[in-house]
A and B are shown apart, each in its own frame.
Chain A
Amino acid sequence: MKVESIFLLFLGVFFTGIGIWYWFWGYEQGGTMLLVGTATLGFLPGLYYFFWHRRFHGHKYFFWGKVHAPGDRPSDRDDAEMAEGAGNIDSFPSSSIWPFVLGMGAFLTVLALVFGAWLMFLGIPLILTALTGVTAESRRGGAV
């Protein structure tokens, strides 16, 4: 995770620098805020990855308890063997109807803003149904 964190932290540092330069050159508020937001987008996930990189190497933080130091992930190591990647990775459903239902619900809801609020009576129930369905599907841990 070291490369990922450096990649994202570079984004934060770069836009902090650009933002400071831009502000003191032009005193323009809108653009400066956009650059600050972009810098934050780099720092937030970058620091998160940096934290986990350090945890993987046994560093303790604050109240965090006993440290298990597994080292770098197999995907971060030059010499990793394929066997290290065997086993459960995550849940990957083969199919699910709920993204389609959610997409249609969003479609109708957006059209309601243009053609009339009555379309929301179709769109919002579809969105709620889909959100419920996808949550239940995830809890069951399988595909429908």
Chain B
Amino acid sequence: MTEVIEPTATQLDVPPRGPDGHEPHGAHEDHGPTGILKWLTSTDHKVIGLSYMITSIVIFYLSGIMAMFLRLQLASPHSSLLSFSQYNSLFTMHGALMLYLFAGPFAFGGLANYIVPLQVGAPDMAFPRLNALSYWLYLTGSITMLMGFFVAGGAAQFGWVFYAPLSSATYSPGAGPDVFLMGIALTGFSAIFTGVNLCGTIFYLRAPGMTMFRMPIFTWNMLVTAILILIAFPVLTAAVVMLFCDRHFGTHIYTATGCHFVNGLPMHSCGSPLLFQNLFWFFGHPEVYILALPFFGIVTEILPVFSRRPVFGYKGMVFATMAIAALSTGVWAHHMFTTGAVLLPFFSFLSLLIAVPTGIKFFNWIGTMWHGQLSFKTPMLFSLGFLFAFLMGGVTGIMLASPPIDFFTHDTYFVVAHFHQVLFGTAVFAGFAGVYYWYPKMFGRMLRDGLGKAHFWLTFIGFWITFTPQYIVGLLGMPRRVASYPSNLGWQSYNIVSTVGAFMIASGFAVLLYNFYISWRKPIPAGDNPWDGHTLEWFTTSPPPHHNYTHLPPIRSERPTWDYNHPEHLTLPHGRGAHTNGHNGKNGKGGNGKKAEVGV
């Protein structure tokens, strides 16, 4: 069967969408205030998305500086660089800033805000003012949390998980823990509002022809992430409010104080520290995938473009994303195996099951690159770095899903290495792959590829040098969250290597700053579609105009811009035949392995 869909002048000349019934605005035409007032009052998703990204990258650098202090402290067994309380504050704030204020907001507040409306052909997010409010709550929540360093008693010291009763007023007095909790509450509301906004945008503002199964995988992943946010963040926010009540209003929701015992058994009115752990991890494990799925989406956008092929197994990718999200909500207590109070086989089985859809994704990513014409530009290098890093983190995750191994390694550096490989692999490798990939679209100028490659190699080599020794030292028994350790156990050499690796990563990110600076001072124009991208955002100008599009191409597959620019290599809709494989055409095979049936 042969089918060629030609873009027609009629289709292109029709102004597709006009907000408020007006004609779409011309390129770079903007309304409203300018200067600082523009950033304070704008409800444009692009301005808000950039605000999110700039704020979260500043927080990333702050948190990275804290990590350097932590690594310096551990390079020597009895270092006096930091006091124990300073060390506790720094590892608490390092984790909290990275997880609550960088990785999530960077992805679903920054990139998603900027890219999703463009990818579905929408003029803006569904609720622009709510979107702006989300950013202001995120910013003020971040400031609130950072205030901890400037109050009496210093910042919180109970770790990013703030378990009760350690986080109670008895064991963690002072204003530092309070501002930590209030910061989380504010950013929690911010995330919930963003989740609602993403769902509304994707469900209601897609362009004609942009059916659900033509949406780019990044947008699909952001939709699933938004649903996960709506499941997880209300639980976290409620848990934080109840903890605050425990601290200040005499409730005993998470403490056993005030319990009435009858025949040695607590009555129903008794508080429970384990309730906190259940609530926290019901947020915390979906949070891991809230931090992972957007970055899976970024990589799934980049690999096809730099392999000159359609994504392999589009629907498989979508269903695998759904399966990961669904399973991730049923595994919260695998973080609590050692409490002895959870259903071990249930949580272990579901945790192990997540490996299946994740494996499908890996298979499809490799399938996308298979027989492709690979171009090793910086975004591609970072995406490949993600594959290696996340694979290692995922494999050790499968090990930790087994209770006997978890009992042995719980609260050791093995776990620290595992989650850093997972989260560094996603938020850093894939996240900065996204920065290099979409920076030309956002600013209309390129980042230097040579500097980008230097950034990648320093980060990639530093990553393995930093975290591989932590697996070993964890298996040797070194516990996490300690500021000093005995000098006669052979742990120091591993810690020194890890510290050297951390500084190598830091030097990579210094190169990134220089790259931003050079791009700002000596811009290289990017053009509208410098990567020959597939999805809709590459059809508009760089940077996009107010309300995004003056016209849109016909949308007949998940690669409308590619179809428009390469009518000789159209991607056929699902169920109507095979994909073409773009330029490579090896063996006459399509993207899904079938023989291509496209008339050229």
Please report A residues at the B interface, Cβ cutoff 8 Å: 1, 3-4, 7-8, 10-11, 14-15, 18, 21-22, 25-26, 28, 30-31, 34-35, 38, 41, 49, 74-100, 102-104, 106-107, 110-111, 113-115, 134, 141, 143
Contact = CB atoms under 8 A, between A and B. Distances in A.
A99 B43 contact: yes
Nearest to B182: A110
A4 B212 contact: yes
10 contacts: A7-B212, A31-B282, A79-B209, A89-B19, A92-B123, A92-B128, A95-B38, A96-B132, A107-B140, A113-B244
Interface string B319-349: 0001000100110110000000001001000
A111 B182 contact: yes
A77 B208 contact: yes
A94 B44 contact: yes
Contact of B137 (A11, A31, A106, A141): A106
Interface of B: 10-12, 14-21, 30-33, 38, 40-44, 123-124, 126, 128-133, 135-137, 139-140, 143-144, 175, 178-179, 182, 185-186, 189, 203, 205-213, 227, 230-231, 235, 244, 248, 275, 278-279, 282, 322, 326, 329-330, 332-333, 343, 346, 546-547, 551-552, 554-556, 573
A41 to B, nearest CB: 6
A134 B333 CA distance: 42
Contacts of B136: 99-100, 102-104, 106-107
A84 B554 CA distance: 12
B329 A82 contact: no
B22 to A, nearest CB: 9
A32 to B, nearest CB: 11
A100 B329 CA distance: 34
Contacts of B30: 94
A45 B404 CA distance: 41
Given A11-B227, A82-B552, A92-B20, A3 B178 contact: no
B238 to A, nearest CB: 11
B27 to A, nearest CB: 16
Contacts of B208: 74-75, 77, 80-85
B43 A114 contact: no
Given A7-B322, A78-B573, A99-B133, 14 more contacts: A25-B343, A30-B278, A34-B235, A74-B209, A77-B209, A84-B208, A86-B16, A92-B19, A92-B43, A95-B32, A98-B129, A103-B136, A106-B186, A107-B186
A88 B18 CA distance: 6
B547 A3 contact: no
B134 to A, nearest CB: 8
Contacts of B10: 83
A140 to B, nearest CB: 12
Given A88-B20, A103-B139, A134-B129, A96 B41 contact: yes
Contacts of A90: 19, 126
Contact of A31 (B186, B212, B278): B278
A110 B21 contact: no
A78 B235 contact: no
Contacts of A113: 178, 182, 244, 248
A18 B40 CA distance: 45
Main secondary structure of the interface of A (DSSP, over half): helix
A75 B207 contact: yes
A18 B326 CA distance: 10
B228 to A, nearest CB: 10
Contact of B205 (A78, A84, A89, A110): A89
Contacts of A1: 203
Contacts of A110: 140, 144, 182, 185-186
B175 A114 contact: yes
A95 to B, nearest CB: 4
A86 B15 contact: yes
A64 to B, nearest CB: 21
Contacts of B343: 22, 25-26, 28
Given A22-B343, A26-B346, A107-B144, A94 B212 contact: no
Contact of A100 (B41, B186, B326): B41
B32 A143 contact: yes
Contacts of B227: 8, 11
Contacts of B126: 90
A80 to B, nearest CB: 4
A39 to B, nearest CB: 10
Contact of B140 (A11, A81, A91, A106): A106
B504 to A, nearest CB: 38
A110 to B, nearest CB: 5
Given A100-B41, A143-B32, A86 B17 contact: yes
Contacts of B15: 86
Contact of B31 (A76, A94, A102, A107): A94
A141 B19 CA distance: 12
Contacts of A4: 203, 212
Contact of B33 (A25, A77, A83, A95): A95
A33 B395 CA distance: 31
B17 A89 contact: yes
B129 A99 contact: yes
B180 to A, nearest CB: 10
Q: Which 6 A-B pairs have the closest CB atoms?
A: A103-B136, A74-B208, A95-B32, A99-B132, A107-B140, A80-B208
B543 to A, nearest CB: 16
User: Which of A49, A85, A115, A134: most chain B Cβ within 10 A?
Assistant: A85
Contact of A75 (B40, B206, B346, B546): B206
Contacts of A79: 209
Contacts of B547: 92
Contacts of A78: 209, 211, 556, 573
A18 B349 CA distance: 12
Contact of B554 (A15, A82, A99): A82
Contacts of A107: 136, 140, 143-144, 186
B32 A75 contact: no
Contacts of B123: 89, 92
Contacts of A74: 208-209
A51 B403 CA distance: 44
B16 A22 contact: no
User: Which of A1, A41, A107: most chain B Cβ within 10 A?
Assistant: A107
A95 B42 contact: yes
A28 B275 CA distance: 11
B326 A11 contact: yes
A87 B330 contact: no
A97 B133 CA distance: 10
A85 B16 contact: yes
Contact of B210 (A21, A75, A143): A75
A37 to B, nearest CB: 8
Contacts of A8: 227
